[in-house]
Amino acid sequence: MLGAIEETYFDICREVSRRQTLHVLCYNEAHRKYVESKLQGLPRLHTWIISTNDTWIRDYGPLSVVTAQTVQYQDWTFDGWGGKFPASLDNQVNRQLLALGVIENRTHMPAVLEGGSIETNGHGLLLTTQTCLLTHGRNHGINQTALESLLKQALQVQSVWWLRHGILAGDDTDGHIDTLARFTSADRICYCQCRDPADEHYEELCQMEAELQALAPDRGIQLTPLPLPEPVYDPQGNRLPATYANFVIINGAVLVPVYDQASDGEAMTVLAGIFSDREIVPIPSLPLIRQGGSVHCATMQLPLID
């Protein structure tokens, strides 16, 4: 499936480079030359030779904490989603980004944390899931209270909302929040809603919806549901964690994963109503979801301070 996946990546690269600086990590020099030949002519393109195990840089890339006029790039340990997959190359990416000058600093953090497992609204509130952060494979010996204290201190948030429900079939991440519920502004969360009682996700996502509805009023958070795509399966008949919540916000646009379904249009309409000042760009994501992730998982932003 490499050819199809590359086309999805080239779509992402073209849309990003039209609007902002784009960094692409390449496995070796031969791969770098190939990528540059495919992306020839794109503005603001930078390529770097940094070998990786997996494509999901959202989970092992630097987490950026912006304070005053500075950006702190945090390097948390990445262990292949609780030891499921090799991660030795992924876990050194941030050190190499620093050595190459792509980031200006690197703060090593004393725990396992994946970027896709947390959502923040930029105003002191963090959303995450118990099913991911509290798994035995990630931070054995650190309980919820201790981990919450660490998150508050490191990410400079005042409140942590822990969701107990929402994990999707086929999800290797144990319930990453970026497949379930996303902040679209300081006071709005978009979340996956299942409307089909016959769907295996119906009860779980209804319980997640109830959790959000119980939490949101206390902080003045508005909730907007996104449709759940119809089931998407791999060639062996296993369901994949397809979701529209895995969009990525860039300068002037929102890149939205689509799966060649009727619900694609509804999801884009919902997001267009929320991001009225941004272009809503569909990214064909069947090749990505067949590898277990989508557009947000495959990207990581590096904020710049003017």
Cβ atoms within 10 Å, residue 86: 11
**Options 26, 190, 194, 297, the catalytic residue:** 297
Q: How far apart are CA 2 and CA 291, in angstroms?
A: 11
Q: Nearest CA to 254 among 287, 273, 282? A: 282
116's tokens = 């896709």
Q: How far apart are CA 202 and CA 122, in angstroms?
A: 30
* Known catalytic membership, residue 297: yes
Give the catalytic positions in this structure: 297
